[in-house]
Structure 1
Amino acid sequence: MSLEDLKAYKAEVSSALNITLNSHTTVFSPGPPMGGAVLLFILKILEGKLHEASLATPEERVETYHRIAEALKFGNIYVSLLSLQEAVGPMLSDELAQLARHRIDARGDHPLTHYNLLEPIYNHRYKSKGTSHVSVLAADGSAVSATSTINYPFGSFVYSNQTGIILNNELADFCIANKSIKPGEYYHPQYKTQGEKPPSAMVPSILISKTGDMLVIGGAGGAWIVSATSMAIINKLWFGYDLEHAISAPIMHTEGDSILFEDHFSEVSGLSMGKTCA
């Protein structure tokens, strides 16, 4: 990283990405390099497929959470492309979501290439404790969804003597797109292009229905953020959970072709792990 890199850097202000689900609810989420495109892609794949009756019987629960797991696989594989503006269009297209739906079958053991609808990429797992999120909905209808992070528990382990602020180490997020580079290892400039920004799974989002109802949501948790936010929205929007239950319910997450479960997931979902985690 050079002084020229710092001099050339500019903060960009852009409009939020948005899609409308079921012709009723509009979801707003941030564009690259944050994870909004992935969140919206996952929701588009599942649009029209889930409702409260989807959890009515054990068999339907298994099928429903299998479908969610497959959608998460299709979505999370593209986290490493979030530094590329040109990747957003395909992820928000009906065509790509439809292609993903057609590829969801009864199997859960497909190779990683099955979920790769754009180009070869890699995933890297982060269990960050340096991220926080706040959702605010004021009495006058104003809403703010904001996620901030220093990436690791103490960021770069460098703080400003003038302000006392701990500096972040977001450069480590380039490891997401380059699996051969591990956090803490020397990062050679050849692995990035000029002006490239590290991808992030942060998805501070706002949902607004035609009747004016609003959901302000987001989360912390590194690579798990998109999965957790997706499932909280699914729980509230399509399964009919109350907000507290929708957010507190255990989640599942996908990394490559693996499915990972938060503690006690099977207790609330009624799933047999043997059937789901193929």
Structure 2
Amino acid sequence: MTSDYFADALRQKITDDTTHHMNYYEPEYFVPENHGTAHRSVVAEDGSAVAATSTINHLFGSKVMSHSTGILLNNEMDDFSSPLITNGLEFVSPGKRPLSSMCPAILFDKGMSQATMPFHCCVILNSLFFNYDLKKAVADPRIHNQLSPNTTLGEPGFDERVMAGLALKNHETEFLTATGAVVQAVVRQRDRLHAESDPRKWDYAAGY
């Protein structure tokens, strides 16, 4: 998000006691299905940190391969609107950026501890505010709402009391039968690094 004006407009729509119909949030966008995105979170021994997301977008990206490098080129231009799709604000023009479903982030606290990850908000809260160990923060069941469809989805095992509380605030809630978004995380706590790869993707963290 690069516009303070846009952020302020969104902030004015936040209400603490209820959610609203989807149209309240003025959803004018088109999000294509994504098939080719990966993330790496790395912290080096000198304290340098990077959160890097790479993508070719759809399967085989643009289906064009560089003859000199052998690299498949992405089709991120597909993230902009196309003719016959109702979304005049997001047609290609100078200065606009392709949409990404990933959110790489590096966070620092006053003690210079650091975290780097495509952090789901639940993982941030659990790790940095509720003092969960990183393994639990990453693995615990989470919730998700992508506005369209406007349903708040809970992963299997998510706290039913929280879901009931959201329902009281007019959320349409539903429990998933499978897991959702994947998180990769590295956190520095004093002089130790803790890394976790989301078990939802059957991967693992590595160090040297």
| TM-score (ref. length: structure 1) | 0.50
Deviation at 1:193, TM superposition (A): 2.7
Q: Give the Cα–Cα distance (whole angstroms) in 1 for the partners of residues 132 and 32 of structure 2.
A: 29
Q: 1:216 to 1:232 in 2, by over 3 A?
A: same
Q: Give the Cα–Cα distance (whole angstroms) in 2 for the partners of residues 272 and 92 of structure 1.
A: 27
Residues 183-220 of structure 1: CA deviation (Å, up to 9, x unaligned): xxxxxxx94334533232332211110012111111xx
Residues 94-149 of structure 1: CA deviation (Å, up to 9, x unaligned): x853x344x221x34x21233x3xxx442434442311111111222111111111
Q: Give the Cα–Cα distance (whole angstroms) in 2 for the partners of residues 242 and 104 of structure 1.
A: 29
Pairs within 5 Å for 1:117-132: 120-132=26-38
Counterpart of 2:125 (choices 204, 226, 234) is: 234
Structure 2 unaligned residues grouped into runs of 5+: 173-208
Q: Give the Cα–Cα distance (whole angstroms) in 2 for the partners of residues 112 and 202 of structure 1.
A: 22
Q: 1:111 to 1:96 in 2, by over 3 A?
A: closer
Deviation at 1:90, TM superposition (A): 2.9
Structure 1 unaligned residues grouped into runs of 5+: 1-36, 38-84, 183-189, 219-227
Deviation at 1:165, TM superposition (A): 0.5
Partner of 2:140: 249
Counterpart of 2:115 (choices 205, 215, 223) is: 215
Aligned partner of residue 202 in structure 1, secondary structure: coil
Deviation at 1:156, TM superposition (A): 1.3
Q: 1:172 to 1:234 in 2, by over 3 A?
A: same
Counterpart of 1:198 (choices 98, 102, 105) is: 98
Contact 2:143 2:155 in 1 (8 A): no
Contact 2:36 2:59 in 1 (8 A): yes
Residues 64-115 of structure 1: CA deviation (Å, up to 9, x unaligned): xxxxxxxxxxxxxxxxxxxxx4xx213555x853x344x221x34x21233x
Partner of 2:23: 113
Partner of 2:85: 181
Q: 1:196 to 1:180 in 2, by over 3 A?
A: same
Partner of 2:16: 104
| TM-score (ref. length: structure 2) | 0.65
Contact 2:142 2:158 in 1 (8 A): no
Aligned partner of residue 163 in structure 1, secondary structure: coil
Q: RCO greater where, 1 or 2, for CA within 8 Å and sep 6 or more?
A: 1
Pairing 1:269–2:159 present:
yes
Q: Give the Cα–Cα distance (whole angstroms) in 2 for the partners of residues 132 and 90 of structure 1.
A: 31
Q: Which segment is superposed worse, 240-249 or 190-199?
A: 190-199
Contact 2:57 2:74 in 1 (8 A): yes
Q: Which letter does structure 2 place at the counterpart of 1:147?
A: T
Partner of 1:147: 53
Q: Give the Cα–Cα distance (whole angstroms) in 2 for the partners of residues 155 and 149 of structure 1.
A: 8
Q: 1:149 to 1:244 in 2, by over 3 A?
A: same
Q: Give the Cα–Cα distance (whole angstroms) in 1 for the partners of residues 29 and 130 of structure 2.
A: 29
Give aligned-pair identity as a percent: 33
Contact 2:32 2:78 in 1 (8 A): no
Deviation at 1:152, TM superposition (A): 1.4
In terms of fraction of residues, the more strand-rich structure is 2
Q: 1:180 to 1:100 in 2, by over 3 A?
A: same
Deviation at 1:262, TM superposition (A): 5.3
